[in-house]
């Protein structure tokens, strides 16, 4: 049954004005804050939900925020913060309390040697690597993996089906990806270490977004990091190369939370989202945001309502 939402306490105006004036990407705007109050235990909890700077992360943050609000939790949203290099310190410092993450990718960010070869190993590796102040809740069945993707023409020209097939031709190709890929263990250095890939050049673009897609289409790069749920792959007949060595590993969507905020209401709300979210559903929701240009909060609200989570 849809739960009634009641207006709660707004975030302190002075804090908002100060944060907004500084241009801080972690600053919440008044319109990004919402709260409900359905029980005394729930209203004692306030959660600041963050997201990375790409549409799927923002969508997942909206799903988490809406589900929490339905449980009577006071929610503030600080979306599109940046990459892990920015939002992980914010999470550990308590500037945000909750972030949508991916088991294998986050495990490797925290520990370059993490075993992410399958779902169980990736989850165990993440739990082992997390700071004690954080907790990872129930992972969703939904996965969105990093990929090395090429155009159909490039795949045909070099007979590419797997990432390994790139080895003899990588020296002729430019790889595109987010700036942090140049130094991340699961970016350029890791591809060289695990696959022996040495590209002609690495071109810093956006986080698997429109700049990357356009660069791949117009030939500025011949291989690119895109997420497997990206509708641009199908729309442009791109080819995501098979990761035969499980370099990218399992990447189940998972909420990572400040441990002291893990009350029964919060855990129930977030695990409720994870229990309903599979890969096909996630890809469909992302398509609504990216292709159909629907507002992420509206897409999230519709899905939460349809699944009895709001």
Q: Cα separation of 140 and 169, whole Å?
A: 37
| Domain residue ranges of the chain, discontinuous segments joined by + | 13-142+253-306, 146-240
The pLDDT of residue 7 = 36
The pLDDT of residue 8 = 39
Q: Which residues contact 17 (CB under 8 A, 6 or more apart)?
A: none
The class of domain 146-240 in CATH terms is alpha beta
The pLDDT of residue 76 = 97
The pLDDT of residue 37 = 36
13-142+253-306 and 146-240: identical CATH topology = yes
Q: Which of 253, 251, 249, 228 is nearest to 238 (CA)?
A: 228
The pLDDT of residue 264 = 94
Q: What are phi and psi for residue 174, nearest 5 degrees?
A: -100, 130
Q: Which of 190, 195, 193, 194 is nearest to 166 (CA)?
A: 195
Q: Which of 1, 67, 5, 77 is nearest to 36 (CA)?
A: 5
Tokens of 60: 């997942």
- Per-10-residue mean pLDDT of the chain, 310 residues long, equals 37 36 47 40 79 95 98 95 92 96 95 94 97 97 96 98 98 96 91 96 93 96 96 95 94 97 96 97 96 97 97
The pLDDT of residue 36 = 38
Tokens of 121: 């190993």
The pLDDT of residue 45 = 87
DSSP 222-261: SEEEEETT-HHHHHTT-EEPB-TT-SS---BEEEEEEGGG
- Cα→Cα distances 49→67, 75, 96, 243, 267, Å: 12, 7, 6, 32, 14
What Rg value do the Cα atoms of the chain yield, rounded? 20
The class of domain 13-142+253-306 in CATH terms is alpha beta
């Amino acid at each position: 049954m849809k739960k009634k939402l009641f207006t709660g306490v707004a975030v302190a105006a002075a804090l908002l004005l100060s944060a907004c004036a500084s241009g801080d990407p972690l600053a919440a705007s008044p319109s990004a804050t919402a709260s409900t109050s359905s029980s005394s235990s729930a209203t004692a909890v306030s959660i600041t939900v963050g997201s990375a700077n790409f549409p799927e992360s923002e969508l997942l943050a909206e799903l988490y925020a809406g589900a929490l609000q339905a449980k009577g939790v006071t929610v503030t949203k600080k979306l599109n913060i940046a990459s892990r290099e920015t939002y992980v310190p914010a999470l550990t410092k308590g500037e945000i309390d909750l972030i949508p993450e991916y088991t294998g990718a986050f495990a490797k960010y925290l520990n370059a040697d993490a075993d992410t070869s399958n779902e169980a190993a990736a989850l165990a590796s993440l739990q082992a690597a997390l700071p004690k102040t954080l907790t990872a809740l129930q992972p969703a069945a939904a996965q969105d993996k990093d990929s090395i993707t090429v155009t159909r023409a490039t795949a045909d020209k070099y007979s590419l089906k797997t990432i390994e097939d790139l080895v003899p031709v990588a020296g002729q190709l430019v790889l595109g990806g987010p700036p942090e890929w140049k130094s991340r263990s699961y970016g350029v250095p890791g591809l060289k270490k695990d696959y022996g890939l040495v590209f002609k050049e690495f071109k810093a673009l956006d986080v698997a977004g429109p700049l990357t897609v356009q660069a791949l289409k117009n030939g500025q790069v011949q291989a690119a990091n895109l997420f497997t749920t990206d509708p641009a792959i199908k729309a442009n007949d791109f080819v995501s190369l098979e990761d035969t060595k499980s370099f990218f590993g399992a990447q189940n969507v998972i909420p990572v939370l400040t441990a002291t905020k893990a009350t029964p209401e919060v855990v129930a709300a977030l695990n409720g989202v994870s229990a309903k979210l599979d890969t096909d559903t996630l890809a469909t929701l992302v398509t609504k945001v990216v292709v159909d240009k629907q507002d992420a909060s509206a897409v999230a609200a519709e899905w939460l309502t349809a699944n009895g989570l709001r």
